[in-house]
Amino acid sequence: MTPFDRHLTAWKLVPDGAPIHTHSSDLLPVRRDGEAAMLKIPRDAEEKFGALMMRWWDGDGAARVLAFDEDALLIERACGPRSLSHMARNGRDQDATRILCETINRLHAPRAAPPPSELAPLTQWFADLDTYARSHGGVLARCWQIAQELLAQPREVRPLHADIHHENVLDAGPRRGWIAIDPKRVIGERGYDFANLFTDPDADTALAPGHFERRLDDVVEYGRIERRRLLQWIVAYQGLSAAWFLSDEEEPAKEFAIIGMALAQLDR
């Protein structure tokens, strides 16, 4: 018996590859009536809420939801050959950044339907940064100070993806283009999503000389976001990310390096 058996039968799916197991979900490539799809069985309670956002976007900028219930999600499978991580590592970081920003802009676009009522505010999302700023002080305290200022007076509030990066925007071929997967359930200022673009796809790329400054210029342009506000969000977001790494007893060296670069520009 596998985690997938019930939904393979109920949704008339045919396995089409090896299962993938992450820290929060079990996934299986499948086909339904010949169409490539991905069956996702979340094991983490919070992970299940991502389906709310996927259904609300209804395939516009994100993978289409083909079926769902309280235990599983079936989405279209992106089978295109292009990879944003490969682009970023091989001299096409500007192209990758443009695609990421365009995808975020599509996800943030107004919709006719109201957003899901279960979305968590960013103030709630930032609780871990508050905790680690109190216990560790130093740069995390500065990050928390800036985060509080942003959260107190939010601008352009949108339902957010909240985990947008090079591996969560996939090539779905010429007809569908680039599509996002694996969102969280968060609502807040749109700058939060753009602040997530500065540490991926890896430390060698993100911390290469001049890379932060070039990507900052690109995100300001393609994301149509005010430069200083973006720098503030980078500090706040990377502080939160560092707090999450610390909670997992991991060293957030990359995040602290990006915070340092952003603060150096803010403090000029």
The first and second tokens of residue 261, run together, are 């670069």
Distance between CA atoms of 61 and 64, rounded to whole angstroms? Answer: 9
Amino acid at 164: I
Distance between CA atoms of 28 and 37, rounded to whole angstroms? Answer: 9
Cα 212–chain centre separation: 19
2-20 residues labelled b (16+ CB within 10 A) or e (exposed): ebbeebbeebebeeeeeee
69 in catalytic set: no
Q: Residues 99, 217: contact at Cβ < 8 Å?
A: no
Of 33, 163, 171, 248, which is the active-site residue? Answer: 163
Active centre residues (catalytic): 163
